[in-house]
């Protein structure tokens, strides 16, 4: 959510940003906010006048009563009552205007960084760099579920009976590999100086609306019936929510946390929950990283964080590339974002496995996270990035470590988590 002062003082900047994101239908919101804000401030000014009048007239009642002028005092009391009624009505209207302003401000997109490429959708994202040499083996790479099934590592039929499409049972060495990847990710981030955390897997609605847009919430979140609770779609939600309403000191910054959680997603509007695959599913596990920092430090952290993901995947012998998201592909709260994509030898192309985002002060402003210094209080910047999200990452792992005989090589980084095994097969 933007600072209302920015909309007041520089509405053209806000409108130009909306145009860069190809959301012209939202341009009218800026004018509506300005009109409502003007009415609100006029009402507040009138309210201050009325309160001053009420105080003055109330003192007059006491004087009249002392002088025995009861009739005049009664008339003056009526004036005080009339002022009180007008104030009550104004306060009610001010509360309504505050909600109307907030409703519009919540969907006006954040100001994107000047370095973000301008484009309508993900087809116009810009490749930044490649890491590792993409290899196409001289043997056919099967579909990822076929690889796992040949290793007796998955049961989709049973999952469909218990839960429906978008769920799975992982079994044996594949289940162990899944957990080994998460354990390696945990230790990898701890070694980068991040504090490990297991957060709540459900959060209240005020936290949900603090960390994401309404459209994302509708398409992603599962609501617990009869409760003000939602299952998290990523641990970033509860990790940033951890700081809601907090006043931190600059000495406490940066806050660097890495968190494990299961994740639950409706995937409304997704291009098909596959019956056979595990690329897009309703339930998965994830290792995340978040940073809360000074505004001047956030771009440095942003670049560190997505490069951590690159380093992690390269440790598992998976070629990746970094792809900068264009303006039209950025969610409304994001200032800047980069996707890390892994190489798929079977598809002969890259696909997304991580997403790193700088949210500026949008989440902090919504959640009331503030930093105290000698000059006063200010909002910090928040950032988040996926370390790894199996089982999607398993697709890249299996395809890039598959051997001609159908066995899967275990990179050295994972062997200590796999009981010393070098091969699955």
331: nearest Cα among 216, 205, 240: 216
Query: Is residue 275 domain-resident?
Result: yes
| Residue 113, domain member (yes or no) | no
> Does 111 fall in a domain?
no
229 and 193 in a common domain? yes
Please give the Cα distance from 62 to 73 (Å, whole number).
8
Residues 78, 167, single domain; the answer is no
Is residue 115 in a domain? Answer: no
Please state, in angstroms and rounded to a whole number, the distance separating the CA atoms of residues 386 and 337. Answer: 12
8 Å CB contact between 262 and 285: yes
For strand 320-324 and strand 202-203, is the pairing parallel, antiparallel, or unpaired?
A: unpaired
State residue 223 phi and psi, 5-degree precision.
Answer: -95, 140
Ramachandran angles phi, psi of 55, nearest 5°: -65, -45
Report the alpha-carbon distance of residue 113 to residue 111 in Å, rounded.
7
Rounded CA separation 181/187 (Å): 10
pTM score of the predicted model: 0.88
Which pLDDT value is given to residue 273? 55
Would you say 302 and 336 are in contact if contact means Cβ atoms under 8 Å apart?
yes
Domain that holds residue 91: 4-105
Which pLDDT score is estimated for 269? 52
Looking at residue 21, what is its pLDDT?
97
Residue 241's CATH number: 3.30.930.10
- Pick the last residue of a domain from 53, 79, 105: 105
Decide if 97 is inside a domain.
Answer: yes
Q: Which residue has the tokens 């100086």?
A: 193
What are the residues facing 385 on neighbouring strands?
289, 356
Cβ atoms of 371 and 378 closer than 8 Å: yes
In a domain, residue 110? The reply is no
For every one of its 425 residues, what pLDDT tens digit does the chain have, with 9 covering 90 and above? Answer: 899 999 999 999 999 999 999 999 999 999 999 999 999 988 888 888 777 777 776 767 667 677 777 777 767 777 777 778 778 888 888 889 999 999 999 999 999 999 999 999 999 999 999 999 999 999 999 999 999 999 999 999 999 999 988 899 999 999 999 999 999 999 999 999 999 999 999 999 999 999 987 677 777 889 999 999 999 999 999 999 999 999 999 999 999 999 999 999 987 555 555 556 787 889 999 999 999 999 999 999 999 999 999 999 999 999 999 999 999 999 999 999 999 999 999 999 999 999 999 999 999 999 999 999 988 999 999 999 999 998 788 999 999 999 999 999 999 999 999 999 999 98
Do 148 and 271 fall into the same domain?
yes
From residue 320, how far is each of 144, 277, 290, 312, 341 by CA, in Å? 18, 21, 21, 10, 5
User: Residue length, the chain?
Assistant: 425
Cβ atoms of 340 and 309 within 8 Å: the answer is yes
**Domain tally for the chain?**
2
Nearest to 325 by CA among 131, 115, 132: 115
């Amino acid at each position: 959510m933007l600072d209302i002062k920015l909309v007041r003082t520089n509405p053209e900047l806000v409108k130009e940003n909306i145009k860069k994101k190809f959301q012209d239908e939202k341009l009218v919101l800026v004018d509506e906010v300005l009109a409502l804000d003007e009415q609100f401030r006029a009402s507040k000014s009138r309210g201050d006048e009325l309160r001053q009048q009420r105080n003055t007239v109330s003192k007059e009642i006491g004087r009249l009563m002392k002088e025995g002028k009861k009739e005049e005092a009664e008339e003056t009391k009526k004036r005080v009552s009339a002022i009180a009624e007008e104030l009550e009505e104004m306060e009610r209207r001010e509360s309504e205007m505050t909600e109307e302003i907030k409703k519009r401000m919540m969907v006006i997109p954040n100001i994107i960084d000047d370095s973000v490429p301008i484009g309508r959708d993900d087809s116009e994202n810009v490749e930044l760099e490649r890491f590792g040499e993409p290899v196409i083996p001289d043997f056919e790479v099967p579909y990822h579920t076929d690889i796992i099934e040949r290793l007796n590592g998955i049961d989709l039929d049973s999952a469909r009976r218990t839960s429906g499409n978008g769920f799975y049972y992982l079994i044996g060495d594949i289940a162990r590999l899944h957990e080994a990847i998460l354990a390696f990710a945990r230790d990898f981030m701890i070694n980068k100086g991040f504090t490990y955390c297991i957060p709540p897997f459900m959060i209240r609605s005020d936290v949900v609306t603090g960390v994401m847009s309404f459209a994302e919430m509708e398409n992603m979140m599962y609501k617990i019936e009869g409760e003000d609770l939602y299952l998290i779609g990523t641990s970033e939600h509860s990790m940033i929510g951890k700081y809601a309403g907090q006043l931190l000191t600059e000495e406490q910054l940066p806050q660097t946390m890495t968190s494990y959680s299961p994740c639950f997603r409706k995937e409304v509007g997704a291009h098909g929950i596959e019956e056979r695959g595990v690329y897009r599913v309703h339930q998965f596990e994830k290792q995340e990283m978040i940073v809360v920092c000074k505004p001047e430090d956030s771009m440095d952290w942003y670049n560190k964080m997505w490069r951590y993901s690159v380093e992690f995947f390269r440790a598992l012998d998976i070629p990746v590339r970094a792809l900068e998201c264009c303006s039209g592909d950025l969610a409304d709260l994001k200032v800047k974002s980069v996707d890390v994509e892994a190489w798929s030898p079977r598809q002969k192309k890259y696909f997304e496995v991580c997403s790193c985002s700088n949210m500026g002060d949008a989440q902090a402003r919504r959640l009331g996270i503030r930093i105290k210094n000698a000059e006063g209080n200010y909002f910090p910047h928040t950032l988040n990035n996926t370390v790894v999200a199996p089982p999607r990452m398993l697709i890249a792992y299996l395809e890039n470590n598959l051997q001609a005989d159908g066995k899967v090589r275990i990179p050295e980084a994972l062997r200590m988590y796999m009981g010393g095994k070098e091969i699955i097969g």
